[in-house]
């Protein structure tokens, strides 16, 4: 554990809680992509199956359980409790275009050929692109509520902080895992446009709207 | 060095 990793995890946690808070407080999931939320739930489910097979630390297990619970909770709020507020017309990204390539790639580039390892690798690849339906939705509607922008910023920062963590771990522990590093870089690059808009608009008190 | 199966990251 290092400071970049801890900040990354806290940023990730903040993002997930912010989203739940936004939906609960406004009693609405307008502007949130259900497809991105579904993809994240698939990601956590595929990755955290190791809760049953290996124990790393209390911190690690608690975070995994929180991420899993929160993501299923978000799906419940979006597709059941506040379903009428879900803006599915604008959530039209085809997620099979993300799931299938991620699955194929996880059979091609993987450390070890075991079911758990392939599922873990699949989750890493899928996570890298899981935000695309949400970004597509923002680009289609041309705007995002401020709290949604904060959510996206925290979610994007998390993997960017992990990149710093991997650099740090490479120098201090000789830790190097190219699968997570390359996927993490792709994931962070996808947010770059959004980061720019967030810094130039949202932080100056303006609403995020596209030209 | 590769650290499989030590997956301590989230």
More confident residue, A154 or B8: A154
Alpha carbon of B5: minimum distance to chain A alpha carbons (Å): 9
| Rg (chain B; Cα; Å) | 7
Using one digit for the tens of pLDDT, what is the confidence trace for A176-188?
899 999 999 999 9
User: Best mutation site among B4, B5, B8, B10 for testing chain A: the one with the most A CBs within 10 Å?
Assistant: B10
- Report whether pLDDT(A8) > 60: yes
Reported as a pLDDT band with limits 50, 70 and 90, residue A175 is confident
User: A194 falls in which pLDDT band (50, 70, 90)?
Assistant: very high
Residue B4 scores a pLDDT above 60? no
Which of A56, A123, A184 best probes binding to B when mutated, by most B CB atoms within 10 angstroms?
A56
Considering CB atoms only, which of B3, B5, B10 is closest to A175? B3
> Does residue A93 register a pLDDT over 90?
yes
| Candidates A5, A67, A177; nearest CB to B2 | A177
Instruction: Choose from B4, B8, B9 for mutation: most chain A CBs within 10 A.
Output: B9
Q: Sort A168 into a burial class: Cβ within 10 Å, 0-12 / 13-18 / 19+.
A: middle
For residue range A25-56, what is the model confidence (pLDDT) as tens digits? 999 999 999 999 999 999 999 999 999 988 89
ipTM, 2 dp: 0.81
- Please name the member of B2, B8, B10 whose beta carbon is closest to the beta carbon of A111: B2
Peptide bond into B5 cis (omega under 30): yes
A54 vs A71 pLDDT, higher one: A71
Residue A162 in contact with partner chain B when CB distance is under 8 A: yes
| Token couple for A179 | 């699968």
Contact of A117 with chain B, judged by CB distance below 8 Å, is answered with: yes
Q: How far is A134 from chain B (nearest CA, A)?
A: 22
Conformational region of residue B2, where left means phi above 0, alpha means psi within -120 to 50, and beta covers everything else:
beta
Res. B6 pLDDT band, cuts 50 70 90: low
Mean pLDDT of B1-10: 66
Q: What is the mean pLDDT of residues A100-118?
A: 95
pLDDT of residue A38: 98
Chain B residues with a Cβ under 8 Å from any Cβ in chain A? 1-5, 7-10
Q: Can you give the pLDDT at residue A115?
A: 92
Mean pLDDT to the nearest integer, A68-81: 98
Using 50, 70 and 90 to split pLDDT, how confident is the model at B7? confident
Residue A207 — pLDDT band, cuts 50, 70, 90? confident
């Amino acid at each position: 554990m290092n400071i970049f990793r801890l900040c990354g995890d806290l940023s990730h946690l903040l993002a997930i809680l912010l989203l739940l808070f936004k939906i609960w407080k406004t009693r609405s999931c307008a502007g949130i992509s259900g497809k991105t939320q579904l993809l994240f739930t698939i990601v956590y489910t595929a990755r955290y199956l190791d809760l049953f097979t290996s124990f790393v630390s209390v911190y690690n297990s608690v975070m995994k359980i929180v991420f899993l619970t929160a993501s299923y909770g978000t799906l419940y709020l979006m597709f059941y409790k506040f379903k009428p507020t879900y803006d599915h017309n604008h959530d039209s990204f085809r997620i099979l275009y993300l799931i299938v390539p991620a699955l194929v790639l996880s059979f091609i580039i993987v450390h070890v050929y075991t079911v758990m390892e392939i599922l873990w690798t699949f989750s890493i690849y899928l996570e890298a692109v899981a935000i695309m339906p949400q970004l597509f939705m923002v680009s289609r509607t041309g705007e995002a509520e401020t709290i949604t922008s904060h959510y996206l910023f925290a979610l994007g920062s998390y993997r960017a902080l992990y990149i710093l963590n991997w650099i740090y771990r490479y120098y201090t522990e000789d830790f190097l895992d190219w699968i997570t590093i390359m996927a993490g870089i792709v994931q962070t690059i996808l947010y770059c446009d959004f980061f720019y808009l967030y810094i130039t608009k949202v932080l100056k008190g303006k609403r995020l709207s596209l030209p | 060095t590769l650290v499989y199966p030590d997956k301590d990251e989230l």
